[in-house]
């Protein structure tokens, strides 16, 4: 991935869940940038180019093939993939957690391996 490429995005279901994950998410993205020497320099790319790259990334997200699996717990686990991006979503009544990342063309930290199910599971409230 080039230095000026969109790495990915994540969606978390609630403010409470995000607050628990915030530091871990920031560290994860920062560590990946440091390890791969990918630093964004606003003097090297215009706002228009950044928007264009973001639109391109989301076009790939919309073009992904989808596979749906019954989750081990509640809801469904969705997996998404195209030639450029891959993602997943846990859905129970609404999206609990969703993440999409640009596929690495060489060795890199894809899919934020340091996050596990315990990081999001405690915030799921099931109505009976």
Q: Per residue in 4-21, pLDDT tens? A: 678 889 999 999 999 999
> In the predicted model, is pLDDT for residue 122 greater than 50?
no
Rounded Cα–Cα distance for residues 94 and 91 (Å): 5
Give the pLDDT confidence of 45-58 residue by residue, as tens digits. Answer: 788 988 999 999 99
What confidence tier does 3 reach under pLDDT thresholds 50, 70, 90? low
Tell me the percentage of the chain whose pLDDT exceeds 70: 73
Backbone angles phi, psi at 8, to 5 degrees: 160, -170
- Give strand ranges (E) for 74-127: 76-81, 85-92, 94-102
Q: Tell me the Cα Rg of the chain.
A: 16
CA dist list (Å): 47 to 2, 10, 26, 100, 107: 17, 21, 22, 22, 28
- Residue 115: pLDDT over 50: no
Q: What does the pLDDT read at residue 71?
A: 94
What does the pLDDT average to over 93-101? Answer: 94
pLDDT of 61 above 80: yes
Residue 2: per-residue pLDDT: 57
Average confidence (pLDDT) over 66-93: 96
Whether the pLDDT of residue 39 is over 80: the answer is no
């Amino acid at each position: 991935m080039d230095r000026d490429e969109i790495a990915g995005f994540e969606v978390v279901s609630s403010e409470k869940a995000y607050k628990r994950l915030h530091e871990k998410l920031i560290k994860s993205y920062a560590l990946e940038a440091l390890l791969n020497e990918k630093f964004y320099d606003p003097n090297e790319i215009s706002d228009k180019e950044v928007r264009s790259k973001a639109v391109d990334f989301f076009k790939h997200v919309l073009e992904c093939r989808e596979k749906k699996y019954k989750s081990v717990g509640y809801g469904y686990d969705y997996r998404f993939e195209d030639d450029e991006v891959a993602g997943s979503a846990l859905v129970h009544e609404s999206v609990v957690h969703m993440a999409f990342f640009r596929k690495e063309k060489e060795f890199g930290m894809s899919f934020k391996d340091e996050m596990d199910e315990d990081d999001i599971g405690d915030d799921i409230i099931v109505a009976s």
